[in-house]
């Protein structure tokens, strides 16, 4: 007698549901393409093994490293900034005793990092982006002489280079990825330059520099909501630096306002604009400048009191963002809690410019 191989009717609805969920899980996401490319780091680790064994890698092995996508784009980035980055110097870097001593830690770190899902990080970033935003980028964990991480070609061929650092836990890496991927998403919807040609150049310059508050928005996005500490995944030293600098938000708002008014008055040379503007991003003493702390204070206040939808609505509108922050901050200006405000003078100048 032939045994019935079909499931009972009572089970079919559940099987259909599971099938549909599986299809949904593996369906392509046109808004999201975030592969992690580890070829440079893997090639470096292979060479380090050879050197550690007392062997001299052959030219073909070096060329395999130099041909990796990660190495080629890293070299392209450094040359685009007129910085030296030569194959001979990189060979010397790989032969250094300091790097050889770190090889095992780097290998463990790369293995841990590859278990972090950049796609999941991008989905977190979408929570603070409009529906039309897309996140297409490649993530490159790299072993290199400089310890910085950065975004390259954010609007044309986005790449996120991450210095492979054993001190960075997978949780911290996830936070970094969400932050940087939010920037990529912003670039997909907000123009690189102010488009309104009716505005004077000083106004356009001021509005462009106000775009620096995207750093604070990205900090909030990476945390997930205003109630979570922006450095919840960081060590105690980083949290202490953030808390110290956030306590100076009122002072830093005044410094930023002076900068914006000077831009509106066309009182700064291009070199002075760059010097003062970049000081709000980072300095040797302050790894995360006022664009981060004041930007986070503004973004978290707007979300708490006006809602996330209102916050996202001003993503490409810095004047609207400052105005919404003032409105939200005024709601909480009772008792001992008095959030700093942008002055009536600055807001009037900006509203006239809109």
Phi and psi at 140, nearest 5°, equal: -115, 100
**What pLDDT, on a 0 to 100 scale, did the predictor assign at position 25?**
46
Residues 6+ apart with CB under 8 A from 34: 118, 119, 121, 122, 135, 136, 137, 138, 139, 181
Considering Cα of 263, then 267, then 271, then 277, what sign does the dihedral take? Answer: negative
Cut 0.85: pTM above it: yes
pLDDT in tens, 315-341: 999 999 999 999 999 986 665 568 999
The alpha carbon of 234 is separated from its chain's Cα centroid by a whole number of angstroms, namely 15
For the chain, residues with pLDDT lower than 70 are 1-28, 284-285, 332-337, 354
Find out whether 71 and 145 touch, Cβ atoms under 8 Å.
no
**What pLDDT, on a 0 to 100 scale, did the predictor assign at position 15?**
46
User: DSSP letters of 298-348?
Assistant: HHHHHHHHH-HHHHHHTTT-HHHHHHHHHHHHHHT-BTTB------HHHHH
**What pLDDT, on a 0 to 100 scale, did the predictor assign at position 218?**
97
Three-class SS of 219-278:
HHHHHCCCCCCCCCCCCHHHHHHHHHHHCCHHHHHHHHHHHHHHHHCCCCCHHHHHHHHH
Q: Tell me if residue 46 falls in helix, strand or coil.
A: helix
């Amino acid at each position: 007698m032939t045994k019935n191989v079909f499931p009972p009717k009572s089970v079919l609805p559940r099987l259909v549901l599971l099938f549909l969920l599986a299809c949904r899980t593996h369906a392509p996401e046109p808004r999201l393409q975030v592969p992690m490319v580890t070829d440079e780091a893997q090639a470096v680790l292979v060479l380090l093994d050879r050197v550690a064994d007392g062997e001299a890698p052959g030219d073909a092995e070096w060329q395999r490293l130099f041909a990796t996508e990660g190495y080629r784009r890293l070299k392209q980035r450094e040359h685009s900034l007129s910085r030296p980055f030569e194959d001979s110097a990189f060979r010397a870097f790989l032969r250094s005793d300091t790097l050889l001593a770190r090889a095992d830690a780097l290998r463990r770190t790369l293995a841990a990092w590859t278990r972090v899902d950049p796609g999941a990080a991008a989905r977190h970033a979408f929570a603070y982006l409009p529906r039309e935003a897309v996140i297409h980028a490649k993530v490159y964990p790299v072993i290199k002489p400089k310890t910085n991480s950065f975004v390259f070609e954010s609007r044309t061929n986005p790449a996120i280079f991450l210095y492979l650092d054993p001190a960075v836990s997978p949780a911290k890496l996830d936070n970094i990825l969400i932050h940087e991927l939010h920037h990529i998403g912003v670039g997909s919807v907000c123009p690189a330059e102010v488009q309104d040609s009716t505005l004077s150049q000083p106004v356009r310059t001021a509005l462009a520099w106000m775009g620096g508050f995207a750093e604070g928005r990205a900090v909030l996005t990476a945390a997930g909501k205003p109630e979570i500490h922006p450095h919840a995944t960081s060590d105690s030293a980083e949290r202490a630096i953030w808390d110290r600098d956030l306590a100076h938000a009122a002072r830093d708002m005044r410094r930023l306002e002076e900068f914006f008014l000077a831009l509106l008055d066309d009182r700064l040379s291009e070199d002075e604009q760059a010097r003062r503007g970049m000081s709000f991003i980072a300095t040797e003493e302050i790894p995360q400048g006022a664009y981060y702390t004041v930007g986070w204070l503004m973004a978290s206040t707007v979300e708490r009191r006006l809602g996330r939808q209102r916050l996202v609505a001003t993503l490409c509108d810095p004047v609207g963002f400052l105005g919404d922050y003032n409105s939200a901050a005024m709601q909480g200006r009772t008792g001992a809690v008095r959030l700093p405000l942008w002055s009536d003078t600055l807001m009037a100048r900006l509203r006239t410019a809109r």
